[in-house]
Amino acid sequence: MPEVPPMARLKIRWTMLGIAGALVMICCGGGLVAYVTGDSGDTRAAEEANGRVSVATLGVPVRDGLFEFTVHSVRCGESKVGSDYLSKTAQGQFCLVNLQVKNIGKEARTFDFGNQQAFGEENTKYSSDGAASLYANDQSEAFLNEINPGNAITADVVFDIGKGAKLLAVELHDSAFSGGVKVRLG
C-alpha cells in the first residue's frame, strides 16, 4: 500500500474536521432556533393528538409557542392610520385586526407585528404593515416591548390590502420560526 504524502494527509484531516464541524453546527443550530423561539414542537403535536382544530374563530383563544392569541375584531376600509403628526396612508385599504396577546411562558417575550400574516380570497397572502401597526397603536406599549409571563397586551395589527379585497383569516405567530395558528375572521 503506497504511503500518503504529508500534505495530502493534512488536507484529508482538515476536510474531515470541516465536515464534522458542519454537522455539529447544523445540529446545534436547530436546537438554538427551538430554544430562542420557545417552540419545542410538542404543542402542535399535542393539539393534533387531542383532536383540536387548527383554525379558530373570533373570540376563541388559540396558542402558538408561548403566546395565547385572542382575535376580538377586524375593521377594514380605513384609508389612514395614526395621528396628525405620525400617520400612514394605505395603498389600498387598511384592515385593523384587534387582538390580545398573552404570554403563557415562564420568561418575558416580545410580540412582533412583522411576524403576522393574513389571507384573503383565493388564498392571497398579506404581510402585516409594521409602520401602520405602530401608528395605529400610538398609545400602546405593544411595539417591541417585552410581555412578562402571565401578562397580556391588546393591539391592532394592520394589513394594507387592495380596495374591494376582503380578509378571511389571520395567521398568528409567536416568532418568525413558529408554525403559527390560523383564525377565521368571518
Mean pLDDT, residues 82-96 taken together: 94
**What pLDDT does 38 receive?**
45
Pure H helices in 41-86? 42-49
Residue 51 has pLDDT above 60, yes or no: no
**What pLDDT does 142 receive?**
72
pTM of the model: 0.71
Which residues are paired to 118 by β-bridges? 126, 170
Mean pLDDT, residues 24-31 taken together: 51
In order of 7, 30, 111, 152, 170, the CA distances from 55 in angstroms are 60, 27, 21, 22, 10
| DSSP E strand boundaries for the chain | 55-56, 62-64, 67-82, 87-103, 109-110, 117-120, 125-127, 146-147, 152-161, 167-172, 181-184
**What pLDDT does 143 receive?**
72
pLDDT band at 53 (very low <50, low <70, confident <90, very high): very low
